[in-house]
Amino acid sequence: MKNIQVIVGLGSCGIAAGANKVYDKILALKTLDKLNFDLKKTSCIGMCFREPLVEIIDEDGSYLYGNIDENKAVDLIEYHVKNGEPIKELVVKSDLFETPDKNFFEGQVKIALRNCGMIDPEKVEEYEARGGYKALRMIADMKIPQTEIIQKMIDSGLRGRGGGGFSTGMKWKFANANKSNEKYIICNADEGDPGAFMDRSLLEGDPHAVIEGMIIGAYTIGATAGVIYCRAEYPLAIKRLNIALEQARKKGFLGKNILGIEGFNLDIYVKEGAGAFVCGEETALIASVEGERGMPRKRPPFPAESGLWRKPTNINNVETFANVPWIIYNGSQEYAKYGTEKSKGTKVFALTGKINNGGLVEVPMGITIKEIIYKLGGGIQGGKKFKAVQLGGPSGGCIPEYLSNTIVDYDSVNATGAIMGSGGMVVMDETTCMVDMARFFLDFTQKESCGKCTFCRIGTKRMLEILTRITEGEGRESDVATLEELAYQIKDSSLCGLGQTAPNPVLTTLKYFKDEFVAHILEKKCPAKSCKKLLTYEVHKKNCTGCTVCAKNCPVNAIEGERKQLHFIKQDICIKCGVCFTKCKFNAITLS
């Protein structure tokens, strides 16, 4: 038992699925029976659909167990740890034999996520053991000049992962060129796209990679201070960042004359956001760090000239920074090996929605959307029909099923009308109403508009009103034309990216799913059977056996009827939640 390691995945997703209880149980068993194995913690390995995850490494190799609860944890200790008998049925990944989930990892190339799920994020030694801070040491030891690092970054072809896709090397070049005795480097960890969690996983799983990337960036542009602007909704990420920063200070990666580089002084601190999507935009983020309302400012001057406190500032995304140490250490050619001509390297995606294997994947650019959804993602839940995939959140759009051979790179995705965005990939099936999705995103941008530009503030509101009325069955024939006109005007006359891209979700749905708009407006029907106002739930006389299951499950007690008698739904109380429809075993609830 001596050389056995038991590692529990404790990312936010694991904890939400009950991983803390599993950890406590294993710890209790270990103390109780005085067992002699190593109990360790790690973060999310990306298999969110199998959380909680426990990995056991013995002399033979590694076994990753999925969907572990407290009872199964007892079994794992009893059989595998004590008796050396792995429980093969529970293994989701192993290097010794094939598992049904093996496709999830095949085709993934982990560069940004290289350490996520492999190390304890609260121990800097584990990061260093896997090559951490070697890139920074290399720069210090070999006295690599700033211009050479810039050239390396340009050659690697790395483009910003925050959504814009601007060359990171070029950005650093501009920031480096502006001379000033005070300069700032900022890490954008605001991750505003609802439905995306790449940055959270990275910060929780490998905070030092982001910090090392920032230190290298700071050295390159000559920054004197660093800020990580992190969403307040990510308490675990903030906690682990602060632990990591303290460790980096102790080890001399932060401080004065870092690693002996004369005059290279840097400290980094975490700034908590306060909940505003627009603060992901770089000038708004700067205003927010300065303690003001997070409203975007006019560019030029660009932050590289005049940013935080009017000093030259460079802002990059979490994932961008996490790639930097790998590129410096392994060389730009190695990175540029992956990807397409204009989009190099890998990209992390958060796979969510109606997909079987929801989680985090890192794939080389150039892979098709179909491959991601069917091979890595394991296809659509419940064997339903794949309808579309949403990329880029509120600034992006949806790509319909028939374009699923589109490859992921900046230009190919842009050609469909969607954008690559930061990596949220929400999969929708035949039961998702596309008009409602467009309404959903407009509702989001309308609430999040900072209010500075008239078209963004009022235009999104008018669009939302029109979309709402369409989903409620009160659409007018002229609505589609009005929506399009408003969309182009908002795009043209907004100051920042929020307004300029807010109409995208509507424009792409109009482009690919016009028939659904027509059905809502002319026939007052929702083809996906999702828009509530256009639906009624009824009990079908013939099939109802009076089993009372529907009545018991109805959250608002809208169903009445005696046992073994026909039930009926009181339409004025029914909130159309659909529970009765899914619970009835006799197909007696109909939807029309």
Partner 1 sequence: MFYKTYFRQFTILLFLIFTVKIYKKQLINMRIKRLLSKENEAIANADVNLDLLNPLIEKYKNKKGNIIPLLQGTQTMFGYIPKAAFEKIANETGLKISDMYGVATFYSQFRLNPVGKHVIKVCHGTACHVQNAGSITDSLKEALKVNDGGTTEDGLFTLESVACLGCCSLAPVMMIGDNTYGKLTSTQSVKVIKEIRLKENN
**Residues within the interface to ligand SF4 (CB under 6 A):** 278, 296, 449-453, 456-457, 494-496, 498-499, 537, 554, 556, 558-559, 569, 574-580
Q: Quick check: 164 binds ligand FES (CB under 6 A)?
A: no
Contact positions with ligand FMN (CB under 6 A) in 221-260 = none
Q: What is d(CA 148, CA 150) in angstroms, rounded to the nearest whole number? A: 5
Q: Which is nearer to ligand FES, 26 or 318 (CB)?
A: 318
Residues 242 and 272 sit within 8 Å (Cβ to Cβ) = no
Please state the closest distance from residue 558 (CB atom) to ligand SF4, in A: 4
Q: Which does 346 bind (CB under 5 to 8 A by kind): ligand FMN, partner 1, ligand FES, none?
A: none
Q: Is-contact 432 439, C-beta < 8 A?
A: no
DSSP SS3 for 211: helix
User: How far apart are alpha carbons 526 and 539 in whole angstroms?
Assistant: 20
Q: Which is nearer to partner 1, 199 or 409 (CB)?
A: 199
Give CA–CA dist 162/321, Å, rounded. Answer: 10
> For the purposes of burial, counting CB atoms within 10 Å of the CB of 292, is it exposed (0-12), middle (13-18) or buried (19 or more)?
exposed
Q: Which residues bind partner 1 (CB under 8 A)?
A: 12-13, 15-17, 48-49, 51, 191-197, 200, 232-234, 272, 274-277, 288-294, 309, 350-354, 358-359, 390, 393, 424, 426, 428, 432, 437, 440-441, 444, 446-447, 450, 461, 532, 553, 555-556, 575, 577-579
Residue 316 binds ligand FMN (CB under 6 A): yes
4 and 57 in contact (C-beta within 8 Å)?
A: yes
Nearer to ligand FES, 195 or 260 (CB): 195
Residue 450 Cβ vs ligand SF4, minimum distance, rounded to whole Å = 3
Of 284 and 360, CB closest to ligand SF4: 284
325, 334 contact by CB (below 8 A): no
Of 54 and 428, the one with the shorter C-beta distance to partner 1 is 428
Nearest to 22 by CA among 90, 83, 89, 88: 90
Q: Is 275 in the site for ligand FES (CB under 6 A)?
A: no
Report the candidate in 280, 223, 215, 284 with the shortest Cα–Cα distance to residue 244. Answer: 215
The CB-of-520 to partner 1 minimum distance in angstroms stands at 17
Q: Which residue is nearest to ligand SF4 (CB)?
A: 499
Find the DSSP H helices in 272-389: 282-289, 318-330, 332-336, 369-370
Residues 181-200 binding ligand FES (CB under 6 A) are 194-195
Least CB distance to ligand SF4 at residue 303 (A): 15
Helix, coil or strand: residue 391: strand
Strand ranges (E), 190-267: 225-230
Give the range of 59-67, 314-322, 428-436, 560-568 binding ligand FMN by CB under 6 A.
314-322
Tokens of 263: 């005059």
Residues that bind ligand FES (CB under 6 A): 194-195
